[in-house]
């Protein structure tokens, strides 16, 4: 257990509230919400468990292309993104936030051409390469995916990680950063550039 001041926890929750407003005000994000819904998470330094990571309870949904966010952020509200951040911090301690969004073949191809111009390092993890000795054990996929992403990025932790489809798993993108507002701003930039790509 890590001893953290309540002030730091309040700062994290406040940063998440600001990040959510950035997301809510971006009309282009409606088509970026995956079937499993979207979430955004921000962890304490050296997070050890999901209770050290704050996120949006119930996740972020979409209705008629408008983001629906019904709850204030809380610690322990995310399992998937929390585990991703905790695993990421083992390689890069400055990574404390993440957001997930919809993966499509078209978006992947566009990001492969444009991510670098937005200052983002993109890699895509092919989950068909995941060994059954990993995928068959609950909780073992995340360490494998993070390690694979770092290998693909040649040892540097990537900003943006795509994950292809796996049995029973929707393909997703995860965007990593230092704070919730950091990843929200990056995703808003991606969404607006995607929306304006043919104009």
User: pLDDT tens, 82-118?
Assistant: 999 999 999 999 999 999 999 999 999 999 999 999 9
Write the DSSP symbol of residue 169. Answer: B
Taking every pair of Cα atoms in the chain, the longest distance, rounded to a whole number of angstroms, is 51
What are the strands of the beta sheet with 172-177, ordered from one edge?
Answer: 74-75, 53-55, 40-43, 97-102, 172-177, 160-163, 122-125
Question: What is the predicted pLDDT for the residue at 92?
Answer: 96
The pTM assigned to this predicted structure is: 0.94
Question: What is the predicted pLDDT for the residue at 1?
Answer: 47
Kindly report the number of other CB atoms within 10 A of residue 85's CB atom. 26
Domains for the chain: give ranges and CATH numbers: 6-195 (3.40.225.10)
Residue with tokens 């507002």: 181
Helices (H), the chain: 6-24, 80-89, 105-114, 132-135, 141-152, 180-195
User: pLDDT tens, 45-65?
Assistant: 999 999 999 999 999 999 998
Q: What are the average pLDDT values for consecutive 10-residue runs of the chain, which has 199 residues? A: 78 98 96 96 96 97 93 96 97 97 97 96 93 80 95 95 89 98 98 88
């Amino acid at each position: 257990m890590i001893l953290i001041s309540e002030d730091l926890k309040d700062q994290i929750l406040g940063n998440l509230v600001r990040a959510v407003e950035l997301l809510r005000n971006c009309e282009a994000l409606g088509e970026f919400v995956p079937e499993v819904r979207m979430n955004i998470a921000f962890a304490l330094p050296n997070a050890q468990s999901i209770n050290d990571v704050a996120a949006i309870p119930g996740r972020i949904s979409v209705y008629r292309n408008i983001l629906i966010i019904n709850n204030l952020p809380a610690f322990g509200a995310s399992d998937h993104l929390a585990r991703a951040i905790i695993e990421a911090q083992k390689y890069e301690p400055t990574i404390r936030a993440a957001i997930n969004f919809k993966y499509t073949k078209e978006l992947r191809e566009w990001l492969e051409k444009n991510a670098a111009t937005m200052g983002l390092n993109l890699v895509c993890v092919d989950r068909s390469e995941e060994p059954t000795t990993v995928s068959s054990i609950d909780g073992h996929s995340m360490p494998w995916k993070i390690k694979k992403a770092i290998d693909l990025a040649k040892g540097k932790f990537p900003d943006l990680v795509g994950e292809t489809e796996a049995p029973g798993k929707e393909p997703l993108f995860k965007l990593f950063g230092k704070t919730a507002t950091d990843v929200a701003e990056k995703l808003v930039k991606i969404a607006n550039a995607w929306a304006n790509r043919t104009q």
